């Protein structure tokens, strides 16, 4: 173990759960098991430090470390950066120290799209106290939620790390089963204490009480909030000044979309087109972030929705305004992100340049919005002209990526810096003049003057001319065909150039440091600027979509009715742009016909219709226009969906179990302002079981006092009889046209029930062999000929005892099928026969 390796082991012991990037000159080196991991994940060469290859070693260039960090973070690893804090002098061991810890939740790369995200949580029975922190933007929120709501919020935020008190990881896994186990990190329990956490947050955020931010005293979420911010500051060694406020996540302000609904409706993630990808006409990264959050957190306040509608309407109605606004926005940079990186001390001069470019564009954006409803957005941003002037006069036109590259500060900004730069630039001419003088003095025409990083400046003379060198030449280096020398004059020149380079670096570092102080002093104002730009970009994107698709502004009210006339699915319509989309109505009223029972063949468009209704409701409460002829919608508080089939084998759940768990969640949590979308309940089990469950679920939704609005699609067309029993239920179906060659799907919803499921016709369209189709039709005719008793309303069936089939008769069939005649004595067989005859007569008489 060399002194250097002992130093490595010392720091590795302090951060055992991290890969240690150990700075050695121009490389970050890794040793032992860290080297093996890095070699495998990064596909870099694994070498050895020693001849016996007992000490594995791998390294990455220091200047390219960010790219390698991104890949390690993506793979789920943590990295501790151990940098050199003293300059090498060739005599003593270079001092090194860990200056930054990069984790999946705290990582803020140069480019957006792979940001981290932190959540802290404490599970308390059926409630979860949560804190969400986005290191890239400084957005910091806290809330205590019921378990089902908390799952939806966690799914929407999608944190890369979740911090929990020590010993509670298993409890957290049970509460949030959809989160990958590797994302949970245990921290000391005392870090989550509410009382001490609240006091620490008040000191850290500079307020006497968190009520200044709308957080009530004693709010349980302040415990995980304090733990989360502490974790960020611990990994970044205190650098998180852009986190300057803690906001309450107002659960009553947003339409709740649970994790299942987010998945079923493919809102932001999916294998194909999503609602996000369809709406994403944003010109900035901050606009895209805002769009994602707006989709996952639709509003419930009609005034806030109306404000967004007004802004979008202004941009739809003024095409030149929208085009110019989007052109300016496309030149703006990600202000929130650049501020975050600079606050975390991982930013670069280019981040400062990004702020300057945006500040220079801001006055024109303000002027453009004047006299329109958009002016209220720009008026919320404080005056930043002073910072704009400071950055414009101080920062170079094209700042380098790294401060060490030089050229960060503009010429003419600082007199002392200009003087040293002039001296450095004149050094090249001075060096050439010195070389010409020496050639003339010695008569050696091939004499050269040069510089390298190891030996510094030198005079080089080929060996054939060594007899002509002056006495004041001092030998510095011997080459194969030449000798290199130094003179007093060249040494003075070298010292002057070295001093110039050092002074330039010192002054640039100092001046740039002052710029950073100025930037961070305006942190909150810059955040407000970033928020305004994001909001403008979001609304301009929705306006562009609305203008292109001739979308209409819906009327949003606080009532319970839902009326969409000739609505269209926003994603499918754009994905199938060449094919005209068949528009359909959606009309539901909590105090009238509030449950649509939708029947018809598979592939006819039932699922598309259901998703369309849910997506249009989300769009409306986002403040967006809608692809429809007109719409009048009462605000909903939750959208529940049970669509599609999938299993969760890792959690021991079959497809049918997943279906039943999701259905149970809906029935337990539905409210009078909920929109419930159910597709093919009971599909995962036998026909009779499935039909019974679907029937019972539908009856429950009819009879519950909560009176939700429901779209219930089913292939059990027998359920259509429920519309005769309950005035709340209305039968609609997907229209088909039958011909000699089979059926044609019309994709039109009509106000009548389907009389059958057309399953065999769908199989025919799918291309099953003709022999299979023919045999299936024979079997269907046979099955439909069997007696299947479903009592009509006029039959004398006791209330609440709707029979889908004859249970007693089925029991007899099962019992006879289970008999073993060879195992019965003649007497037992005779007794069993008489018993079966008696029971059959009872069943017949009961009919």
H, E, C per residue of 766-810: HCCCHHHHHHHHHHHHHHHHCCCCCCCCCCCCCCCCCCCCCHHHH
Mean pLDDT across the stretch 213-220? 92
Q: What distance in Å separates the CA atoms of residue 472 and residue 488, rounded to the nearest whole number?
A: 8
pLDDT of residue 50: 67
The CA R_g of the chain, rounded to the nearest whole Å, is 37
Mapping DSSP to helix (H, G, I), strand (E, B) and coil, where does residue 817 land? helix
Say what the pLDDT of residue 785 is.
Answer: 65
Task: State what percent of residues in the chain have pLDDT above 90.
Answer: 62
What percent of the chain is predicted at pLDDT more than 70? 93
pLDDT for the residue 790: 43
What was the pLDDT predicted at 535?
97
Inform me whether the pLDDT recorded for 844 exceeds 80.
Answer: no
How much is the pLDDT for 799?
A: 43
626 contacts 546 by C-beta, under 8 angstroms: no
| pLDDT at residue number 661 | 84
pLDDT in tens, 55-85: 899 999 988 888 899 999 989 899 999 999 8
Flag whether pLDDT at 230 surpasses 70. yes
What is the tens place of the pLDDT at every residue in 88-98?
A: 777 788 899 99
pLDDT of 575 strictly over 60: yes
- Length of the chain in terms of residues written: 847
Annotated binding-site residues for ATP read 600-607
Mean per-residue pLDDT, 808-830: 72
What token pair was written down for 385? 């002209």
Comparison of pLDDT for 831 and 144, the residue scoring more? 144
Whole-number pLDDT of residue 652: 54
Q: What is the pLDDT of residues 652-704, one digit of tens each?
A: 567 788 888 888 889 988 999 999 999 988 877 777 788 888 899 999 999 99
pLDDT range class, residue 782, cuts 50, 70, 90: confident
Provide the pLDDT for residue 192. Answer: 97
pLDDT, tens only, 456-479: 899 999 999 998 999 999 999 899
pLDDT of residue 500: 87
Burial 697-725 (b: 16+ CB within 10 A, else e): bbbebbeeeebbbbbbbbbbbbbbbbbee
Nearest CA to 156 out of 300, 294, 299 is that of 294
The residue written with tokens 């306006």 in the block is 543
pLDDT of residue 579: 82
What residue ranges in 410-463 does DSSP mark as E strands?
Answer: 448-452, 456-462
- Which pLDDT belongs to residue 755? 66
Higher pLDDT, 812 or 258: 258
What pLDDT sits at residue 781?
73
pLDDT attached to residue 594: 94
Mean pLDDT on 620-630: 97
Per the prediction, the chain carries an average pLDDT of: 88
What's the whole-number mean pLDDT along residues 427-431? 81
Q: Tokens 């429901």 correspond to what residue?
A: 710
**Beta carbons of 466 and 483 less than 8 angstroms apart:** yes
- Which sign, positive or negative, has the C-alpha torsion 833, 836, 842, 844? negative
Q: Which residue has the higher pLDDT, 400 or 453?
A: 400
Which residues make up each annotated binding site? 600-607
pLDDT the model gives residue 778 = 76
pLDDT computed for residue 834 by the predictor: 77
pLDDT at position 740, please?
Answer: 61
Q: Are strands 555-557 and 482-486 parallel, antiparallel or unpaired?
A: unpaired
How far, in Å, CA of 199 to CA of 77, rounded?
A: 33
The answer to whether residues 125 and 85 touch, using CB atoms and an 8 Å cutoff, is: no
pLDDT of residue 802: 42
Report the b/e string of 315-349 with b at 16+ CB within 10 A: bbeeeebbeebbebbeebbbbbbbbbbbbbebbbb
pLDDT digit string, tens, across residues 738-767: 766 667 778 888 888 876 667 777 777 777
Over 80: is that where the pLDDT of 102 sits? yes
Residue 328 to residue 368: CA distance in whole angstroms: 10
pLDDT, tens digit (0-9, with 9 covering 90-100), for 519-529 = 999 999 999 99
Would you place residue 812 in the very low, low, confident or very high pLDDT band (cuts 50, 70, 90)? Answer: low
CA-to-CA distance for 407 and 217, rounded, in angstroms? 50
In this predicted model, what pLDDT tens digit does every residue of 482-499 receive, in sequence order? Answer: 999 999 989 988 888 888
DSSP letters along 142-163, please? Answer: EEEEEHHHHHHHHHHH--SEEE
Place of tokens 């609005």: 709
C-alpha span between 158 and 170 (Å, rounded): 19
d(CA 108, CA 113): 10
Q: Which of 12-21, 205-214, 593-602 is least confident?
A: 593-602
């Amino acid at each position: 173990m060399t002194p250097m390796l002992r130093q490595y082991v010392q720091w590795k012991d302090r951060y055992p759960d991290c890969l240690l990037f150990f700075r050695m000159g121009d490389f970050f080196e890794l040793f032992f098991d860290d080297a093996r991991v890095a070699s495998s994940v990064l596909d870099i060469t694994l070498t050895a430090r020693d001849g016996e290859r007992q000490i594995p070693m791998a390294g990455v260039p220091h200047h390219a470390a960010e790219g390698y960090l991104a890949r390690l973070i993506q793979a789920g690893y943590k990295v501790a950066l151990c940098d050199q804090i003293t300059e090498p002098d060739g005599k003593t061991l270079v001092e090194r120290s860990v200056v930054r810890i990069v984790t999946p939740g705290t990582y803020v790369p140069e480019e957006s799209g792979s940001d981290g995200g932190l959540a802290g949580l404490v599970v308390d029975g059926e409630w979860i106290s949560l804190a969400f922190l986005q290191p890239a933007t400084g957005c910091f929120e806290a809330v205590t939620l019921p378990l089902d709501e908390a799952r939806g919020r966690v799914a929407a935020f999608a944190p890369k790390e979740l911090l929990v008190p020590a010993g509670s990881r298993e409890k957290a896994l049970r509460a949030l089963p959809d989160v990958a186990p590797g994302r949970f990190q245990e921290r000391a329990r005392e870090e989550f204490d509410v009382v001490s956490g609240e006091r620490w947050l008040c000191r850290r955020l500079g307020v006497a009480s968190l009520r200044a931010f709308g957080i009530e005293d004693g709010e349980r979420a302040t415990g995980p909030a304090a733990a989360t911010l502490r974790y960020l500051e611990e990994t970044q060694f205190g650098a998180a000044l852009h986190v300057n406020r803690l906001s309450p996540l107002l659960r009553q302000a947003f339409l709740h979309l649970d994790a299942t609904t987010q998945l079923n409706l493919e809102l932001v993630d999916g294998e194909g087109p999503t609602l996000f990808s369809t709406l994403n006409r944003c010109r900035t990264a901050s606009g895209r972030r805002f769009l994602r959050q707006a989709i996952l957190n639709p509003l419930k306040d009609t005034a806030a929705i109306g404000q967004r509608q007004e802004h979008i309407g202004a941009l739809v109605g003024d095409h030149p305004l929208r085009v110019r606004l989007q052109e300016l926005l496309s030149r703006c940079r990600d202000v929130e992100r650049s501020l975050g990186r600079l606050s975390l001390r991982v930013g670069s001069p280019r981040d400062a340049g990004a702020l300057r470019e945006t500040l220079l564009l801001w006055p024109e954006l303000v002027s453009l919005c004047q006299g329109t409803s958009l002016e209220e957005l720009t008026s919320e941003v404080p005056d930043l002209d002073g910072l704009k002037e400071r950055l414009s006069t101080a920062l170079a036109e094209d700042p380098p990526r790294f401060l060490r590259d030089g050229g960060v500060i503009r010429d003419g900004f600082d007199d002392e810096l200009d003087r040293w730069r002039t001296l450095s630039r004149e050094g090249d001419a001075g060096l050439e003049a010195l070389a010409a003088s020496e050639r003339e003095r010695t008569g050696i025409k091939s004499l050269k003057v040069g510089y390298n990083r190891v030996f510094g400046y030198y005079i080089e003379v080929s060996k054939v001319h060594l007899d002509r060198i002056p006495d004041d030449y001092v030998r510095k280096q011997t080459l194969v065909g030449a000798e290199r020398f130094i003179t007093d004059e060249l040494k003075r020149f070298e010292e002057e150039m070295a001093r110039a380079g050092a002074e330039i670096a010192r002054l640039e570092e100092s001046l740039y440091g002052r710029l950073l102080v100025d930037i961070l002093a305006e942190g909150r104002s810059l955040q407000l600027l970033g928020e305004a730009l994001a909001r403008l970009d979001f609304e301009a994107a929705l306006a562009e979509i609305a203008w292109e698709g001739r979308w209409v502004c819906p009327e949003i009210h606080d009532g319970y009715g839902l009326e969409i006339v000739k609505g269209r699915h926003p994603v499918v319509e754009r994905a199938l742009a060449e094919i005209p989309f068949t528009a359909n109505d959606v009309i539901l009223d909590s105090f009238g016909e509030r449950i649509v029972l939708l029947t018809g063949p598979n592939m006819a468009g039932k699922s598309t219709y259901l998703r369309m209704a849910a997506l249009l409701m989300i769009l409306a409460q986002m403040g967006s226009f809608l692809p429809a002829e007109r719409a009048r919608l009462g605000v909903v508080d939750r959208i529940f969906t049970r669509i599609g089939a999938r299993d969760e084998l890792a959690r021991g759940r079959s497809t049918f179990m997943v279906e039943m768990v999701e259905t149970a969640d809906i029935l337990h949590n539905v409210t009078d302002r909920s929109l419930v979308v159910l597709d093919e309940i009971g599909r995962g089990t036998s026909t009779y079981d499935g039909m019974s469950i679907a029937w019972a679920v539908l009856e429950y939704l009819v009879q519950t006092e909560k009176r939700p609005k429901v779209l219930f699609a089913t292939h059990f067309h027998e359920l259509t009889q429920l519309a005769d029993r309950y005035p709340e239920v209305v039968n609609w179906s997907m229209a088909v046209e039958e011909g000699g060659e089979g059926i044609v799907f019309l994709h039109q919803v009509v106000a009548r029930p389907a009389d059958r499921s057309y399953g065999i016709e769908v199989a025919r369209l799918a291309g099953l062999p003709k022999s299979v189709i023919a045999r299936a039709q024979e079997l269907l005719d046979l099955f439909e000929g069997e007696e299947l008793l479903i009592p009509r309303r006029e039959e004398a069936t006791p209330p609440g005892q709707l029979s889908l089939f004859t249970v007693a008769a089925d029991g007899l069939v099962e019992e006879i099928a289970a008999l073993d005649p060879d195992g019965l004595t003649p007497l037992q067989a005779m007794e069993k026969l008489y018993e079966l005859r008696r029971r059959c007569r009872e069943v017949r008489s009961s009919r």
